[in-house]
Every structure is written in C-alpha cells, then in structure tokens.
Chains A and B, each alone.
Chain A
C-alpha cells in the first residue's frame, strides 16, 4: 500500500463549487504539505503543517484553506473554485529531521479541472 494517498485522483467541477481534496499518510510523519503543479511553473507551496495544531500559509494560499484532522490526515479545500485553480495538486509529508533539510514524500497527485 502507498504511504501517501490522495483522493480523488481526478476531479472535474464547475466554477463556484466547493471542493475538498484529501490526503492520508501511513508514514507517521508530523509534517504535511499541499502543493500545486502548473506546467512551466514547477510546484508551489499552498499550505503546510508541522503538527496537528500548526497550520502555515505557503507561497500561494489565497483561495484555499486546509484542515489537519489528525496526524495522518490533511485536507485542502477550495471554497469557491475558479478556472485558474485547474492544476495538479500534490500532498507530501516529511521526516522529522532538522527543519528545512527534511526529505519530502509525495502522493500520486490529484488532477483538478475547474470549468
């Protein structure tokens, strides 16, 4: 079984709809991340969480919110989806090394299309 899973893997929705992307991990890591990937832009950090009570904004948090329901679960929400949020979304976790040196482990991604 995969260590980091994301659901759904693919989603098509309409402008204005609320969408939730879910991430679960069995690695036992405290740190979790949400990124979006756009062609030619690489990955950009949306939100990250260093433990259940810690939530931090990343480089591009506007239009997104997150919930850390448990150590193993980190959800990303789009309250009112818009077409420029069409992208590939990745969840990641990282091992408990010194901050910012840790290796990140990525899920398989969720492809979101907003019409």
Chain B
C-alpha cells in the first residue's frame, strides 16, 4: 500500500526565512501527491497537488512543491515565511485511497 513520511513533526522558522517541509512517499504505481494545511480549530484545506505534467507545482499563499520521482519526494517550500503561515501541514498520497502523513507543525517566530 502507498504511504507517506513527513520528516520532522515540528519546524520553527523566523519570519522572512525559507520554509522547507519534507515529505517522502512510497508507492508501487505513479502516485498523486497533495499538501494540505490545517489552521487551529479548522478542517484541512488544499495547498497544492501534483497529478501529472509539470513537476514543480505552485499553490496558494506562495507555497510550491516539486515532485522528484528519483528521490520519491514532494517537499513543500515557501521563500519567505509569514506569521500567518503558522499551522499544521499534511502531505498525502493517493493511489487507491488517500493516505496522509503524520503532519508537521510550523511555528513562525517574529
């Protein structure tokens, strides 16, 4: 079955610094990959997704992710963190059904 591993349950960055959240997947067939964000006391919402085509995917709020098949990775980046980016981020892989990673909590320091 497909699975996702998110490296680092907590990441802390300063405002204006690069955000890098790591995600590696395992799948025996070409996967579809997603990043979702969860703000406090809310449900998840889609940041971006990779299905086919261009491997660099741009999402909302300045986030982007690159699908690297050779590395089985789909890391999420943002050039400059903002205080409003503080949230929990989930990577997910979908083949037969959706499987989520354990999540990475992002803290942004002023």
- Interface residues in chain A, defined as those with a beta carbon under 8 Å from any beta carbon in chain B: 4, 33, 35, 40-45, 48, 58-59, 90, 92, 98, 100-101, 103-109
Is the CB–CB distance between B43 and A58 below 8 Å? no
In the complex, whether B98 has a CB less than 8 A from a CB of chain A is: yes
B42 CB contacts on chain A under 8 angstroms: 108-109
Question: Nearest chain A CB to B22's CB is how many angstroms away?
Answer: 15
Name B101's contact: one of A4, A42, A48, A98 (CB within 8 Å).
Answer: A42
- Interface residues in chain B, defined as those with a beta carbon under 8 Å from any beta carbon in chain A: 6, 9, 32, 36, 41-46, 49, 51, 90, 94-103
Question: Nearest chain B CB to A89's CB is how many angstroms away?
Answer: 11
Is the CB–CB distance between B49 and A42 below 8 Å? no
Is the CB–CB distance between A100 and B96 below 8 Å? yes
The CA-CA distance from A40 to B105 in the complex, in Å, is: 10
B46 CB contacts on chain A under 8 angstroms: 103-104
Is the CB–CB distance between B97 and A43 below 8 Å? no
Interface centre among A33, A58, A100 (most CB of B within 10 A): A100
Question: Nearest chain A CB to B20's CB is how many angstroms away?
Answer: 19
Question: Nearest chain A CB to B104's CB is how many angstroms away?
Answer: 10
B41 CB contacts on chain A under 8 angstroms: 108-109
